[in-house]
Amino acid sequence: MRHSLTLMVIVFAAVVLRAQGCGGQGNATLQTQAAFLGGSIAPVLAAAPGAPFIWYADFAPGQVTLPGIGTSCLAMSPALWPLVDGLGGGAPPMPASGTFSVSLGIPTAASLLGLTIYTQFGALDSSAPNGVAISNPVSVQLTIPDYALPTANNMSGFGTSLHRAVPLQDGRYTLICGGGSGNLTAPTPSNLVEMYDHYTRTFSPVSIMAGGPRTLHTGTRLQDGRVLVTGGIGSTTGNVDTGEVYDPATDTWTPVLNVMQNVRAAHTATLLNDGRVLITGGNGVFSTGPNGGFGPIFSSAYDTVDFYDPVTNTFMPAPNMLEKRIGHSAVLLPGGQVLLAGGVAGSFQPPIVGFPPLPVYATAGEIYDPSVNAFSPTGLTPVSRIVGVMNVLPSGSVLYAGGANGPLLCTTAAADFWDVTTNTWSPLPTSLPTDVALAASATLADGSIVITGGGQGCVAMFNSTTDVTVFNPNTFQFFPKAPLPAPKGSHTISPLPDGSFLLVGGLDASGFAVSTGYIWNQ
């Protein structure tokens, strides 16, 4: 059986198909980290203790049926080579711990930047199908720190901004749904959906949203791995009050059985620890007034809140927030509560003939506590803002930075800090290097926060930037990093299993939505 597996891999390579969706079988897993030129990488293989195994690498992905064994996700190209051969090459079997790791040095040659290696291993295991466990496939792309490489392709169906990117449970796949093509002030909502596969580093179309086009909607991964999408701006009906659930196992969308209390866009949806989703605020209208002002948008802000219950697949009313909010931020705190801050709460008509209504901002933060099913105040935020970034720090406190504020919705560099021990806000002593709104942020492995792209300007006429900034929660300092390869605003950033991050879509330097993706490493 040992030699037959080796021969099957080399000789019985059947039809090579695309590797999108190709997976493993049985009890075998493979994990890697980002691979930097001049550094090293230590992949971790896990399989049955004592199992003989063979570990291959190739320069192309594939999907090859191995009769009597299973499916390989390698292309079986002439460049295929064994990294470890415990079947015919004399290498020892899987250690008694059930894990094997080896440090592999990476050359420094700049010509190797962007080279991608595809890898997978198989191990003899009587409990696996056909007696062979085959690991999940993994790709390793050679890169350098503080750098972004393009994905292997662009989204095929659409350029998009104000979309939603939701990492699925295994981390390999990220669902990209909806969003607006065109520009920021007049987006054309889309019902298109694509799946990013980090093994092939490609986007592929999947089933469109059954409920119609959406932008400024929400996307939330549920505890069972499905994805809830709610509200947003529809194509012809304005903002919508519907929701639907995507099942990645069947590539199908199922409508929520009822509707929310209100149509909603620019709202938030936060997964609670009990599996429900807290849906807050948003607004009812996305259209300008007779003088081109945003008064109708501002004045239709809501303080209403809905729950989504995945058990019954229904929405149900929740207690109202303390303030109306549109374009606000919400994060789940370590204790299971939800912190909300920012947003516009309404509009004000200045006593000037022909002057458009101005925004009235929500002035304080608030916390939803599911144990008492109520909102409570946190005090005034130092800076009122809309479309900023909010991230939980390792201490449990929260960073709230950037966004737009003032009567003309001008971008700001201000940063605020919510202290979990005192439930109070204070301005940080330092600000972002540049003012920015509609940026995308994520938490790095060391607890730092990376803030990418965004736009600068006023009255939603934002010029997208290439800025990348990292906030150090230990020193409370912001540090500028190397710029992105191209400007991005209203885009998304999502964590990937090797510690890198996926940046998708957004607005380019001309203010129009793009279909590009990048993989950024710290």
Kindly indicate the confidence band of residue 1, based on its pLDDT and cuts at 50, 70 and 90. very low
**Mean pLDDT, rounded, for 70-85:** 96
For residue 237, what pLDDT is reported? 60
Judged against a pLDDT cut of 70, whether residue 108 lies above it is answered with: yes
What are 57's two structure tokens?
A: 């690498």
Could you tell me if 235 and 228 are in contact, meaning their C-beta atoms sit under 8 angstroms apart? no
Q: Which domain holds residue 411?
A: 148-521
User: Which of 121, 144, 167 marks a domain boundary?
Assistant: 144
194 and 49 housed in the same domain: no
- Interval 220-230 mean pLDDT: 98
We report the CATH number of the domain holding residue 122 as 2.20.130.20
Give the pLDDT band (50/70/90) at residue 287.
confident
pLDDT given for residue 429 in this prediction = 93
Q: Is the pLDDT of residue 304 over 90?
A: yes
Q: Is 139 in the same domain as 157?
A: no
Alpha helices in 295-411 (DSSP H): 295-299
User: Is 372 strand, coil or helix?
Assistant: coil
Same domain (yes/no): 380, 460: yes
Are 126 and 203 within one domain?
no
Give me the pLDDT at residue 20, please.
58
User: SS3 of 425, please?
Assistant: strand
Confidence (pLDDT) at 21: 74
Last-in-domain residue among 144, 163, 194 = 144
Q: What local confidence, expressed as pLDDT, does residue 514 receive?
A: 96
Same domain, 107 and 232: no
What is the mean predicted confidence (pLDDT) over 341-368? 91
**Is the pLDDT reported for residue 299 higher than 80?**
yes
The better pLDDT of the pair 368, 350 is held by 368
Residues 123 and 54 occupy one common structural domain:
yes
Residue 319: band (very low, low, confident or very high) from pLDDT cuts 50, 70, 90: very high
- Can you spell out the DSSP letters for 194-210? EEEETTTTEEEE-PPPT
* In the block, residue with structure tokens 């950024």: 520
> Residue 459: what pLDDT?
85
Looking at residue 351, its pLDDT comes to 81
Based on the domain organization, do 422 and 326 belong to the same domain? yes
With a cut of 70, say whether residue 15 has pLDDT above it: no
Type of residue at 52: P
Measured in whole angstroms, the distance separating CA 457 from the mean position of its chain's CA atoms is 25
The model's pLDDT over 50-66, given as tens digits with 9 standing for 90+, comes to: 999 999 999 999 999 99
What would the mean pLDDT of 312-318 be, rounded to a whole number? 98
Residues 90 and 180 occupy one common structural domain: no
Domain containing 396 — which CATH number? 2.120.10.80
Instruction: Report the percentage of the chain scoring pLDDT > 90.
Output: 87
Mean pLDDT of the chain: 93
Same-domain status, 333 and 431: yes
pLDDT at 10: 34
Distance between CA atoms of residues 121 and 134, nearest Å? 6
Whether residues 140 and 176 share a domain: the answer is no
The single residue listed with the structure tokens 């400007």 is 487
Tally of structural domains, the chain: 2
Cβ distance 513 to 506 under 8 Å? yes
| Residue finishing a domain among 98, 117, 144 | 144
Residue 14: band (very low, low, confident or very high) from pLDDT cuts 50, 70, 90: very low
Higher per-residue pLDDT: 352 or 490: 490
**Chain-centroid distance, C-alpha 374:** 29
d(CA 429, CA 414): 9
Q: 292 falls in which pLDDT band (50, 70, 90)?
A: low
Q: What is the pLDDT of residue 69?
A: 95
Amino acid 187: pLDDT: 86
Same domain, 112 and 239: no
**Which residues make Cβ contacts (< 8 Å) with residue 353, sequence separation at least 6?**
none
Residue 356: pLDDT band with limits 50, 70, 90? confident
151 has a pLDDT exceeding 80: yes
Residues 228, 341 share a domain? yes
